[in-house]
Amino acid sequence: MKRIGFLAFASIFFMSCNQQTTEVTEGTEQDSVVTEETIPADWEWETEQFADIRMLRFRIEGWNKLSLDQKKLAYYLTQAGLSGRDIVWDQYYRHNLEIRKALENVLKNYDGDTETPDWEKYVLYVKQIWVHNGIHHNYGNFKVMPEFSKDYFQSLLNATETSLSEEALDAMFNDKDLKKVSKDPKQDLVLASAVNFYDADITEQEAIDFYKKKMVDGDKRPISYGLNSKLVRNEAGGIEERVWSAKGMYGEAITEIVKWLELAKGVAENQAQADALALLIEYYNSGDLKKWDEYNVAWVKATEGDIDYINSFIEVYDDPLGYKATYETVVQFKDFDASEKMKVISDNIQFFEDNSPIMDEHKKPNVTGVTYKMVNVIGEAGATTPMTPIGVNLPNANWIRTEHGSKSVSLMNIEVAYEHAKGAGFLEEFTFTKEELERSKAYSSISSKMHTALHEVVGHASGRINDGIGTPKETLKNYSSTLEEGRADLVALYYIMDEKLMELGLVDTLDVGKAEYDSYIRNGMMLQLRRLKVGEQIEEDHMRNRQLVAAWAFEMGKEDNVIERKTLDGKTYFVVNDYTKLRAIFGEQLREIQRIKSEGDYEAGKNLVETYGVQVDAQLHQEVLDRTASLNIPPYSGFVQPVLKQVMEGDSLIDIEVTYPKDFTKQMLMFGEKYSFLK
């Protein structure tokens, strides 16, 4: 195995650039094609800012090295993904699609005065709704309220002859359905959540009872009950599922998805890839969750191709009960050099498991089939865009991961875009010493990427559930996702300060780990609070997990002053005084959270999350907001997608080019026209 030192590893992430132009429909003369040889020196990573969002772009590095069939495969998979984009809008809220279509119709057809403050507020609102795939904030879960009046909006509807039901119109402005996803244990989680996975009158207990009857005690290979359906109340007053399939709910969009997947299967790189796509098509056509498991087993074994993807109903973060999955897709291709150099992590996966601080009975004796690739994203759809993850580890079913393994990827060109668009000032504002500042500047890029790799590859693959214990969504319920993300973070934090990484040639110095410890505590205790409005608690699972780990570590290390809260000139800082002891604390935390997951200890999990992960120090929150306001760097980022265009010579497809739009508004309008298959 070729070893890779810190400097070589760091250089992997600074090889690409990015540019985009705008079009209303695919193929207009405004498109610009950018190749590796024609990247302009003034490439723009950030295109605009609005509300709490900045819009970025990513480049598809290495596209022209793909064969025509590989480009076709990527194109068909991308079209399949976009064909289902309406689904996540409907999943997030029952009025979202109707509202979006009305907003877009007004934007395209209004010929009145567009120089007024009200119109500016209207355009701002539409952009926010696009970024969040609905009228609720993607991370904060709160309803995004219009800053213009209901009367003004009604005048826009009238002027453009746009229809919108009274119920949907009221939903935009009233004080109902205020939380997309509620995690408050004092409320009925289903009734308090606006997501459209359950009819509006179905209660939490009714949903739990419905699925409890389906589950088989002692089943070591349980299907993912409820993953691909909406729970509805029938005419008799009972509860039943409406399955998402080509013949069921969302059938119009799923039929279109299947059409493109059939074309993708026809140009698959190998038989294993084609077989997996065939099973995905069968699953979409039937809605059979056993077929979903068959597909995931085939997909995780299909590792030889350069093009890969995720596609379907996958993550359950947005279901307060953790049963139902949002629609999402990512199409990607392997970065050969970077993946080969980072393969050392998955090659040594058993070392990490064997030497973990978790209890021996909770360790996997044989960690199976973990593959890790660094990839360039080609296109995304559904819940993965405009706000995108930077790493993915799938499948989610524990028994499949145990028996057949998993795939982990780091979305390299997404991370590159974030890195190049990173604003200045945060480190200077929130680091306490010159040494901390210099270490962060030197190593923060590599440390965050190493954390992501360890989190996805080692973290999500580690540990096992005790025999006879149900799945985490059954045992840990609404705290399952927070605790799983915390567990994976702790694996990464524990090993990023291990000399094994130096032995493997992944880093040249443990200062990389120190930089990550500084960053993690800084973010978990303070910086991520800038994402919240004054008075809010933390709702989003990843934010909860980060504060849980950081605040719990702060508490555990108080006696030895491991993390010290300092004040200078009226400003608060959290300073790590002992990195070795902090690593030991992370190990203790990991041991306990793995125990909670392995044993299904709901009360212990609830206590951890509610004690450390939810509440916000109001005074500290306001301080963070005040200190970051002048930096003018929004806390959230979305992405304008590259667009793939077919190049024809007569009736023959001779190439597929990448164009890079700049204008988010025009792209969203184009998507709305071209990929709207649900009413």
DSSP calls for 236-267: TS-EEEEEBSTTSBTHHHHHHHHHHHHHHHHT
Q: How far apart are CA 198 and CA 94, in angstroms?
A: 10
Rg of the chain on CA atoms, in Å: 24
Residue 472: CB partners within 8 Å, gap ≥ 6? 322, 398, 465, 480, 483, 484, 597, 600
Q: What value, to the nearest 5°, has the Cα angle with vertex 562 and ends 561 and 563?
A: 90
pLDDT for residue 676? 97
CB 380 within 8 A of CB 388: yes
In terms of Cα–Cα distance, which of 366, 514, 538, 491 is closest to 442?
Answer: 514
The helix or strand, by DSSP H or E, that contains position 242, with its residue range, turns out to be strand 239-243
pLDDT for residue 217? 86
pLDDT for residue 537? 93
Q: How far apart are CA 618 and CA 597, in angstroms?
A: 31
Q: How far apart are CA 475 and CA 469, in angstroms?
A: 8
Q: What value, to the nearest 5°, has the Cα angle with vertex 331 and ends 342 and 653?
A: 120
627-677: per-residue pLDDT in tens? 999 898 999 999 999 999 999 999 999 999 999 999 999 999 999 999 999
CB 138 within 8 A of CB 132: yes
CA atoms within 13 A of residue 67's CA, in its CB half-sphere: 9
In the chain the first and final C-alpha atoms are separated, in Å, by: 53
Q: How far apart are CA 462 and CA 359, in angstroms?
A: 12
Q: How far apart are CA 128 and CA 537, in angstroms?
A: 21
Residue with structure tokens 């049963």? 323
Q: How far apart are CA 10 and CA 4, in angstroms?
A: 10
Q: How far apart are CA 332 and CA 310, in angstroms?
A: 9
What residue type is 318 in one-letter code?
A: D
Residues of the chain with pLDDT under 50: 1-37
| Strands annotated E in 138-234 | 229-233
CA atoms within 13 A of residue 520's CA, in its CB half-sphere: 36
pLDDT for residue 17? 33
In terms of Cα–Cα distance, which of 117, 35, 6, 105 is closest to 509?
Answer: 6
Question: What sign for the dihedral angle of Cα 342, 344, 350, 354?
Answer: negative
pLDDT for residue 71? 98
Q: How far apart are CA 372 and CA 629, in angstroms?
A: 38
Burial label for 403, CB within 10 Å (0-12, 13-18, 19+), is middle
CB 506 within 8 A of CB 512: no
In terms of Cα–Cα distance, which of 139, 126, 134, 143 is closest to 90?
Answer: 134
301-359: per-residue pLDDT in tens? 999 999 999 999 999 999 999 999 999 999 999 988 888 878 899 999 999 999 999 99
> Would the pTM of this model clear 0.85, i.e. be above it?
yes
